Amino acid sequence: MSGVGDVTNSGGGSAARRAGKPTLAVVGATGAVGTVMLGILSERADVWGEIRLIASPRSAGRKLTVRGEQVEVVALSEEAFEGVDVAMFDVPDEVSAQWAPIAASKGAVAVDNSGAFRMDPNVPLVVPEVNAHAARVRPRGIISNPNCTTLSMIVAMGALHAEFGLSELIVSSYQAVSGAGKEGVDTLREQLVKVAGTELGTQPGDVRRAVGDTGPFPGPMALNVVPFAGSLKEDGWTSEELKVRNESRKILGLPGLRVTATCVRVPVITTHSLTVHARFENEVTVAAAHEILASAPGVVLCDNPAKGEFPTPADVVGTDPTWVGRVRRSMDDPNALELFVCGDNLRKGAALNTAQIAEVVAAELTGVA
Ligand SMILES: NC(=O)c1ccc[n+]([C@@H]2O[C@H](COP(=O)([O-])OP(=O)(O)OC[C@H]3O[C@@H](n4cnc5c(N)ncnc54)[C@H](OP(=O)(O)O)[C@@H]3O)[C@@H](O)[C@H]2O)c1
């Protein structure tokens, strides 16, 4: 394992405590996901030796705090990967596409949060609670992290699949604006200021005229829902809808799984929700589903509608698990369940899952796994 490198990483005694542990690079440490990542790395069991922070040359020299220590950001370069064991990429697709293979060629295992490699057959797509074993087979030295919408439901679906055998998923998403990055959050906040205290929302187009620029969204987000997320692909499907289909199939190892998704953007800052119609090979009961979900790692069952208990984004945001409620057996199909699922798209939907994958690799490298 590489030792502490030549990057500022002060903190009395920490060097000795971390000797022999793997070196981690966080590429994109200054971004929306990177910022959440530094918080998560500071909270979780400390399995890392040096943590090296990397971003664009614009950010070189900035100091960020991780594990309570100030660490200087270095510019992305081949040399930045010297001695790195695991390199996380929280950067745009094109940056990952270019640099993850370079990190791998320098001997690091790259864990990529972008969409650059997710459907590459030589790159595993990993959710540790569902398919941690897949992380070991990585012919390109790269492991992909799924997209946030798929991640927001897949831990719960993986647990139910293991028991009942999944045959079909029909989902609608209710996606938060932070899935569109900082610009998405800024857009909703600015629009909310413009509509607050008004009588808007009673005439066609009154909200649209009031908010003006819709930012990265194809319609107003304040006082509205927008049935479109991502970019337009063939036959009217969006990129986000295709990701839910393709990534669910790959993670669950079910290439023939029937999946239909409709992705909708809602005026929520962070935490994606989904309604799920899940059909199984075997007959299901709510009691059995409750038992599975209540004991599944990474899942919280919150399902007591008589007491008004079900997950909502406002309560789930900032937490790690996948929250599940409103579990019902379909009235017309004894093999199908209806559920409502919420997950923080910046934590389990992005940074947390990447951190968990990196920890799986760290355990393998240090012989703990
Ligand atoms: N937001 C979400 O909910 C979410 C969820 C799952 C996955 N993701 C994926 O995670 C990745 C990061 O998303 P984000 O929302 O965190 O983006 P972001 O806020 O725009 O941050 C981008 C990061 O990449 C760095 N970067 C950009 N161009 C670079 C270059 N040429 N060389 C080196 N570093 C460069 C930036 O550094 P500077 O600050 O120096 O420019 C910054 O640290 C994307 O692939 C995104 O699709 C996002």
**Residue 197 within a domain:** no
pLDDT per residue as tens digits for the range 34-80: 999 999 999 999 999 999 999 999 999 999 999 999 999 999 999 99
Q: Binding site annotation covers 97?
A: no
Instruction: Kindly tell me if the per-residue pLDDT of 258 is higher than 60.
Output: yes
Q: Identify whether the C-beta of residue 20 lies closer than 8 Å to the C-beta of residue 327.
A: no
Looking up residue 256, the CATH number of its domain turns out to be 3.30.360.10
**Residue 155 within a domain:** yes
**Residue 283 within a domain:** yes
Instruction: Kindly tell me if the per-residue pLDDT of 9 is higher than 50.
Output: no
In percent, the amount of the chain with pLDDT more than 90 equals 92
Q: What are phi and psi of 189, to 5 degrees?
A: -60, -40
| The residue to which tokens 């107003």 are assigned | 220
If you ran DSSP here, which 8-state letter would residue 349 be given?
I
**Residue 12 within a domain:** no
73 and 103 both lie in a single domain? yes
165 and 286 both lie in a single domain? yes
Regarding the beta carbon of 133 and ligand 1, being less than 6 Å apart is answered no
339 and 358 both lie in a single domain? no
Regarding the beta carbon of 90 and ligand 1, being less than 6 Å apart is answered yes
Closest atom of ligand 1 to 59 CA is: 40
**Residue 265 within a domain:** yes
Q: How confident is the model at residue 13 (pLDDT cuts 50, 70, 90)?
A: low
236 and 294 both lie in a single domain? yes
| Sheet bearing 51-55, strands edge to edge | 63-66, 69-75, 51-55, 24-27, 86-89, 109-112, 142-144
268 and 309 both lie in a single domain? yes
pLDDT per residue as tens digits for the range 151-190: 999 999 999 999 999 999 999 999 999 999 889 999 999 9
Instruction: Kindly tell me if the per-residue pLDDT of 85 is higher than 80.
Output: yes
Regarding the beta carbon of 73 and ligand 1, being less than 6 Å apart is answered no
Q: Binding site annotation covers 118?
A: yes
**Residue 320 within a domain:** yes
**Residue 89 within a domain:** yes
Closest atom of ligand 1 to 151 CA is: 6
- How far, in Å, is the centroid of ligand 1 from the Cα of 313? 23
Alpha-carbon gap, residue 181 to 58, rounded angstroms: 19
Q: Which of 26, 35, 56, 102 to mutate to test the pocket of ligand 1 (most atoms within 8 A of CB)?
A: 56
Take residue 242 and report the two structure tokens written for it.
């295709």
Q: What is the pLDDT of residue 8?
A: 40
254 and 322 both lie in a single domain? yes
162 and 242 both lie in a single domain? yes
Q: How confident is the model at residue 11 (pLDDT cuts 50, 70, 90)?
A: very low
Ligand 1, atom 20, residue with closest C-alpha: 31
Segments forming the whole domain that contains residue 160: 150-176+225-343
338 and 362 both lie in a single domain? no
53 and 158 both lie in a single domain? no
Q: What is the pLDDT of residue 153?
A: 96
**Residue 238 within a domain:** yes
Among the listed residues 148, 263, 302, 342, the single catalytic one is 148
Tell which wins on pLDDT, 234 or 13.
234
205 in the Ramachandran plot: left (φ > 0), alpha (ψ -120 to 50) or beta? left
171 and 119 both lie in a single domain? no
* Number of structural domains found in the chain: 2
122 and 92 both lie in a single domain? yes
- How far, in Å, is the centroid of ligand 1 from the Cα of 113? 9
Q: Binding site annotation covers 59?
A: yes
Task: Provide the mean pLDDT of the chain.
Answer: 95
- How far, in Å, is the centroid of ligand 1 from the Cα of 297? 29
Q: What are phi and psi of 309, to 5 degrees?
A: -100, 110
Mean pLDDT along residues 108-132: 97
Regarding the beta carbon of 144 and ligand 1, being less than 6 Å apart is answered no
241 and 257 both lie in a single domain? yes
Please say if 272 is a catalytic residue: yes
Alpha-carbon gap, residue 95 to 198, rounded angstroms: 43
Q: How confident is the model at residue 5 (pLDDT cuts 50, 70, 90)?
A: very low
Take residue 134 and report the two structure tokens written for it.
């897949």
Q: What is the pLDDT of residue 367?
A: 86
Looking up residue 102, the CATH number of its domain turns out to be 3.40.50.720
Among the listed residues 161, 272, 302, 342, the single catalytic one is 272
Q: Which pTM value belongs to this model? A: 0.92
Q: What is the pLDDT of residue 32?
A: 83
Regarding the beta carbon of 26 and ligand 1, being less than 6 Å apart is answered no
Take residue 217 and report the two structure tokens written for it.
């969204």
Regarding the beta carbon of 343 and ligand 1, being less than 6 Å apart is answered no
Helix (H, G, I), strand (E, B) or coil at 2: coil
Mean pLDDT along residues 128-137: 97
Q: What is the pLDDT of residue 253?
A: 97
